[in-house]
Structures are given as C-alpha cells and as structure tokens.
Amino acid sequence: MVSGGLGRRGRVVFAASMMLLTVAMVFGCKENQTTTTTQGSSSPPAPGGGGAAGGPAIIIGEYGSLTGTQADFGVQTDQGIQLAASEINATGGIEREGKKMPVQIAVDDDKSLAQLAETSVKRLIDEKHVIAVLGEVASSASLAGGKVCQDKGIPMISPSSTNVDVTKGRDMVFRVCFLDSYQAAVVARFAIDGLKAKRVAVFTNKSQAYSTGFSSEFKKAFAKYGGQIVADQSYSQDDQDFRGALTAIKAANPDAILVPGYYNDAGSIVKQARDLGIKVPLLGGDGWSSSKLLTIAGPAANGCYFSDHMSIKDPKPLVQDFVANYKKKFNADPTSMSALGYDAARIMFDAIKRSKSLGGKDIRDAIAQTKDFSGVTGNITINANHDADKSAVIIAVKNGAFEYAATIPDPNKPMSAK
C-alpha cells in the first residue's frame, strides 16, 4: 500500500537512478577540468563532432602546457593553432573529395608535467577519437605523448620540441622546428660571418641538457668554420654570481661570448658582464626568446644576438599577415611559439587534404611528403628523419627591443654580404 510517497520498489529505482546520475556528473566534471574542445573560435562546438558548418568535422587533438610552469609557451602555441583552425574554417574547412570538412581542435592540458602527457594523449585518442595530434612544446612531454601516438598509429606533429630523440625511431612522429644542433651551427656561422668574430668564449650551464648540448654543437661548428674557442667556463643551475668566470673570460680577450642558456640566466650574465666592462657581443639560442630577458638585463642587453625560429619584424608578407591576424584575434604580438603552433597546424591540415584517406598511416605518409611548405617560420621540408629542413633567424637586441638581423638558411655556407 502506498501512502503519500514512493513504495519500496519505487524508492530503490529512484535511488539507483540518482546514483547513476551522480557518477555521470562526477566523471563529466573531471573530464571538463582537463579537456576542452574548440574550433578556432570562442564558442565550443556541440558534443558529437559537429563542425562550424553543421556537418561532420575532422577532429585533431592538441596536448600542451596550458597551466603550470611552462604555461606561457603552451598558451602561445595553442593560440597559433587556434588561429590556423579559425582561418581554415572561415573557408569551410579542409577540402576532401570536393567537399569541405570543418576542423575541431580537441585540447588537453598536461599541466606542464611530462608524466601527464601520456594520459592526455590517450584521452584524446580513446575518448575524443582524434585522427591526428599536435603537441607538445617540451621535448620530455613530446617523448611521452609521442610514444602513445606511435603505439596507436596516430600521426603527431610537435611544433617546437628540439630534442633529437623526439622523432628518432618513430615513424608516426614529426616536428616543424629545427634541432639544437642546427641552431648552434647557425649562431657559429653568424659569429664568423656576421660579427667577424674569430675568437669566442663559451659560458655553459653544466646543469642543463639544452645548454651543454648547444655548447658542444657550437664548438664543433665554430672550429669547422675557422674559429677558435679561447675560454670555456661553466656555471651551475642555482648560481647567481657569475663575475668570477666572467673575469676569466674577459682576460682571454674574446671577440664574442656564447651563453647557451635560458633567458633568466642569460639576462643576469649579460648584466654582470657589462658591469665588469665586457663590451663584446654575447650570443645565445632560442632559450633567450623572452621579453623577460630585456627586463632582467635592461640596457646591458643591447648589442647581443640570439637565434630564433622567426621574427615578427621579418618583412615577408606571409609573416606580416600572420602578425596582423594574430594581433586582431588575441590583442597581443605573437611569439615564435605561436608561429610554430600555426605552422604545425597548417602542415597537418595540408597533409590531411592530400592524404589518400583519414587513416593514420595515410596521413603520416602525406606529412612525410611535405616539401617547401611556405610557413611563417620559414620554408619547411620534412626530411627522412621526420625533422624539418628550414632556415633560422638571428635576432639583435637594439634600443631595448628585439630586431630582425638576418636569415641563415644553411650554416654550412658563408653568409651573403649585405
């Protein structure tokens, strides 16, 4: 008999239903904390893969450091990818067999933790059903995520992971940035031809693989091009006072000093070098590519140079169009990370357009056939190692700002005289 409420059976059914609803809500909230899906626009698409035009969408995954210690690089890369997606969707999407298919970018935040990258990529492939993946910036995260892509047969392009092992032995993994060995040779060539520096001192962070690797490759290239290393000093990760080593370097009377570290160390070293009366140029790699270098070093950074993937002051129309469109969308200047994300996405879209099918191996084959692709970061050809053959630029610090100085397509050839 029922009196003013549910019977026993009804209460059991109701309780079971509420339990299922609670579980669904918990798991739904958990997923929303780590994964978002966008189309290169401010409005996320409806669930189920519908694209901007309401038709079936091509879903591409992106994993990156949207939060955490490397969030600046991750957000900048994501914005470049989103710009590329919004531009192609404005034309209707990727054309295949006479039909346009809009693009969806499913994004997963690995929180700047390499140990989460594997989980991020598995979630994109298994739950979002992506057909290809973009990411990551950090080489350690690309190594972890790339293993998943390799095992599952899903092609991946890293915008900016420079460690040689990212693509080694992995036929599903590619990159659109140059390797550290290449940019070290570019800096060596610029020192020889651009600065007429025959005698260079090297000041390396011995605690950092990026710095030690860059230093080693620079010394080999500089000797090959006819230069001489006149001093070889090092420092440790936590050092803040560099004056002892810099005094020894000054005594060697170099024409320039290589500091192959990140912007925080480089800024302090540059400032202390100038305080000691060292007036020669200091040189670095893309680890210098941060406005914080200028904040730390102040006017002392003037007259220094570093290699990078692109310059927003490069006069080429493709670069200036990218800069203008990026500013319009994000109200900020792009960085080289933004440009690499943009190029990685565009190369992926182009490969999907040319691919025989939307299967992983066919898309992989199309990426591998990329040749002379006109990118914001240079003309890009994917070589047999799945790395990018491309040029690098040299950035000069002048009047407290980064200025485009030169493009060096092949460091093994002398720079053309201006």
Cis status of the peptide bond prior to 136, with omega within 30 of 0: yes
Residue 13 has pLDDT above 50, yes or no: no
* Tens of pLDDT, residues 378-398: 999 999 999 999 889 999 999
Give percent of the chain above pLDDT 70.
86
* Tens of pLDDT, residues 72-107: 889 999 999 999 999 999 999 999 988 999 999 999
Q: Are strands 228-235 and 256-258 parallel, antiparallel or unpaired?
A: unpaired
Among the four given CATH numbers 3.40.50.620, 3.90.1150.10, 3.40.630.10, 3.40.50.2300, the one describing domain 35-178+317-386: 3.40.50.2300
- Indicate where the chain has its CATH 3.40.50.2300 domain(s): 35-178+317-386, 181-308+393-408
Indicate yes or no: pTM above 0.95.
no
Instruction: Provide mean pLDDT across the span 55-69.
Output: 91
CATH number of the structural domain 181-308+393-408: 3.40.50.2300
* Tens of pLDDT, residues 101-143: 999 999 999 998 989 999 999 999 999 999 999 999 888 889 9
* Tens of pLDDT, residues 319-359: 999 999 999 999 999 989 999 999 999 999 999 999 999 99
pLDDT at 409: 84
- In this structure, what token pair is assigned to residue 355? 């691919």
pLDDT at 36: 57
Q: Which residues contact 351 (CB under 8 A, 6 or more apart)?
A: 155, 363, 366, 367, 369, 370
Cβ 189 vs Cβ 397: under 8 Å: no
Angle between helices 243-251 and 263-275 (to 10 degrees): 60
If you average pLDDT over every residue of the chain, what do you get?
A: 87
Determine the residue type at 1.
Answer: M
